[in-house]
Amino acid sequence: MRHRVVHLINPKTDSLTTRPQYLNRALYSPLAGLLAVAGAIPRDRYEVVLTDENIEPIDFNLKADLVGISAMTSYVNRGYEIADTFRARGVPVAMGGIHPSFMPQEALKHCDAVVIGEAELVLEKLLDDLGQGQMRGTYRADRLHPLDGLPMPRYELIKRNRYVNRTFVQTSRGCHQGCTFCAEPLMNGLKIRYRPVEEVIREVENCGSRTISINDADFFGTPERPKEIMRALKGRGVSWQAGVTSKLAQDDRMLELAAASGCTMLSIGFESISRDTLKSVHKHVNRPETFAALVEKVHSYGIMVFGLFMFGFDGDDPSVFQQTAWFNIEADFDVCAYSVLTPYPGTLTWYEMKKVDRIISFDWDKYDQANVVYRPAQMSGDALRLGQIAAYETFYARLSLARRFPLRGTRRRLQWSIYNLFMKKGAATDRKSAVAEPTEAPDVVPVPPILPLKREWRQAILDATGDPGEIPRDGTPLVLAATHQASETERPGQQPAAPGAAPDRGRHTGFARHQPPAAVPAGELDRYGPAPTETLAKADHLP
């Protein structure tokens, strides 16, 4: 029997992490989602072809039985163009990833099917439906994956010589924090789910690289679990880096083990040097008074610190840019990235800003953390964008590079230089006009795959999505309407489900179309009040 062909595509994006290239290489391969999807496709029946448009052109003539497109918000428009092109040629298209998961009805205008959230538990059904010519609407699992027995990502599909970082290994999904601007807890839950240690190690041993990035939202999310992984990594000749939060990165035992098991860099979302700002966006875990000592401590173990900061919070005024950049230089951060706050659809920040009509542009291309798409509270959009550029210029100025270069200690100088060169080049070539042009709001409201536990936050989402129903209290993923609703997206010959047909919540559901909320006049901003600051309950999101 002929193997069917699935063509998986990562659309091009003009992002700081993928745009600059040195020696024909991008800094990151943004392909973790597609490699996971490829891993879950049965090899005995399907051949998988992978295209990352950031480094290679798409072959629109490739004869495929299915095209699968992954998209974050900033490249979903390009994803839609690609989907439209393939569908016009009669090739069925499925989409997944963060943006289609939050806005499935929008995506369904361009593709046949959308996977909401994780793909592993629904791909089989989707492929069965494809085989019967019935693949359409939304597919979502009725539970989060327990993460044991996850299929191995198909690393062999990557063009290895085109990326600096090409191996992303996940040891967990979810995050305990719940920051208002972040999609992670609404996609993967507030509870951290872990893969069995032996499965992580099997992946490390078979990924074909001795340099890996641990792709967790917060690898140091709990005190004991990362230590088990690090003990198991010791002695394997692997060097690794990971994204972590600041609290447990202070723990000496954690850092000792990290260094002993090959850690070279920790990326930490510090976000702001103002505690009040951090509290306002629910990043309680960060305490700015500890940041400088933390960097020094991490350095003492020979590990670099990649600091992630964000500008444009309501507490930020125009002094924030130089204060932050100089703080970073003086505290000897190794690498820094400065993002413009972006109200990603479906996050709390989105609902809060949307409610008071602060979002100016809904052009998803501009949702890349470099354009300003909303009205900042204490400065103009221009000031925000220009201030961000100035912070990059200050931090990556020659004098700063010379001052921060790790002449002493055991941090890796080559890795330090590569990251500083990429970030300097990326920031210098990123000269977008300051403020995005106003555009019409989308006619569908984003709905997070998982509702927040905090009552007011849930209510804010339910208010926005126009659902008057009772708020579920047990963390059950929200299914607002479980009948198939694909009228605008039906392909010729397809029949919508009968009205009132029993929903199959586990696999094939569609959200009803929601009315966008009425915009609130700008002057009423203070009536809405500041961002919520209470702590989220640390409970399980699993249904």
Which residues contact ligand B12 by CB under 6 A?
A: 13, 15-18, 28, 30-34, 36-37, 68-70, 72-74, 94-99, 101, 115, 118-120, 168, 170, 182-184, 187-188, 215, 217, 339, 344, 368-369
**177 near ligand SF4 (CB under 6 A):** yes
DSSP3 helix / strand / coil % (the chain, rounded to 5): 35, 15, 50
> Rule CB under 6 A: is residue 242 a binding residue for ligand SF4?
no
Instruction: Check binding of 185 to ligand SF4 (CB under 6 A).
Output: yes
With residue 504 as reference, give the H or E element that holds it. Answer: none
Q: Which residues contact 89 (CB under 8 A, 6 or more apart)?
A: 60
- Report CA-CA distances (Å) from 394 to 323, 324, 338, 386, 471: 10, 10, 12, 12, 48
Please say which residue, 139 or 219, places its beta carbon nearer to ligand SF4: 219
If the CB atoms of residues 47 and 520 are measured against ligand B12, the closer one turns out to be: 47
Phi, psi angles (nearest 5°) of residue 65: -85, -20
Shortest distance, CB of residue 501 to ligand B12, whole angstroms? 24
**Cα–Cα distance measured from residue 25 to residue 496, given in angstroms and rounded to the nearest whole number:** 46
- Select from ligand SF4, ligand B12, none the partner in contact with residue 18, using the beta carbon and a kind-dependent cut-off of 5 to 8 Å: ligand B12
Q: Which does 31 bind (CB under 5 to 8 A by kind): ligand B12, ligand SF4, none?
A: ligand B12
CA distance 137 to 2: 27
Q: Is 182 in the site for ligand SF4 (CB under 6 A)?
A: yes
The minimum distance between CB 323 and ligand SF4, in angstroms, equals: 21
Please, which residues have CB within 8 angstroms of residue 162's CB and are 6 or more apart in sequence? 24, 25, 26, 29, 52, 55, 56
Decide: is 216 part of the binding site for ligand SF4 (CB under 6 A).
Answer: no
The site that binds ligand SF4 (CB under 6 A) totals a number of residues, namely 11
CB of 76 to ligand B12, least distance (A): 8
The identity of residue 312, as a single letter, is: G
Give the integer Cα–Cα distance in Å for 97 and 114. 9
Of 52, 53, 129, 184, which one interacts with ligand SF4 (CB under 6 A)? 184
Q: Indicate whether 175 belongs to the interface with ligand SF4 (CB under 6 A).
A: yes
Q: Which residue sits closest to ligand B12, CB atoms considered?
A: 96
Question: 218 or 334, CB closer to ligand SF4?
Answer: 218
Q: Does 180 bind ligand SF4 (CB under 6 A)?
A: no
- Binding ligand SF4 (rule: CB under 6 A), the pick from 52, 112, 120, 218 is 218
**Which of ligand B12, ligand SF4, none does residue 115 bind to, with CB < 5 to 8 Å depending on kind?**
ligand B12
CA nearest to 27, candidates 327, 173, 241: 241
- CA distances (Å), origin 314, targets 274, 286, 358, 522, 542: 11, 17, 12, 15, 33
Give the DSSP per-residue string, 322-379.
HHHHHHHHHTT-SEEEEEE----TTSHHHHHHHHTT-B----GGGTTTTSB-B--SSS
Least distance from ligand B12 to the Cβ atom of residue 106, Å: 12
Q: Which of 255, 209, 278, 186 is nearest to 541 (CA)?
A: 186
302: three-class secondary structure by DSSP: coil
Minimum gap (Å) between residue 45 Cβ and ligand SF4: 36
Nearest approach in angstroms of CB 73 to ligand B12 is 3
Residue 244 structure tokens: 């972590």
In the complex, least distance from residue 129 CB atom to ligand B12, rounded to whole angstroms: 12
Minimal distance, residue 399 CB to ligand B12, in Å: 26
CA distance 432 to 428: 11
Residue 177 interface partner, choices ligand SF4, ligand B12, none, CB cut-off 5-8 Å depending on type: ligand SF4
Q: Cβ of residue 175: shortest distance to ligand SF4, in angstroms?
A: 3
Assess 217 for contact with ligand SF4 (CB under 6 A).
yes
SS3 assignment, position 461:
helix
CB under 5 to 8 A by kind: which of ligand B12, ligand SF4, none does 340 bind? none
Interface ranges with ligand SF4 (CB under 6 A):
175, 177-179, 182, 184-185, 217-218, 245, 269
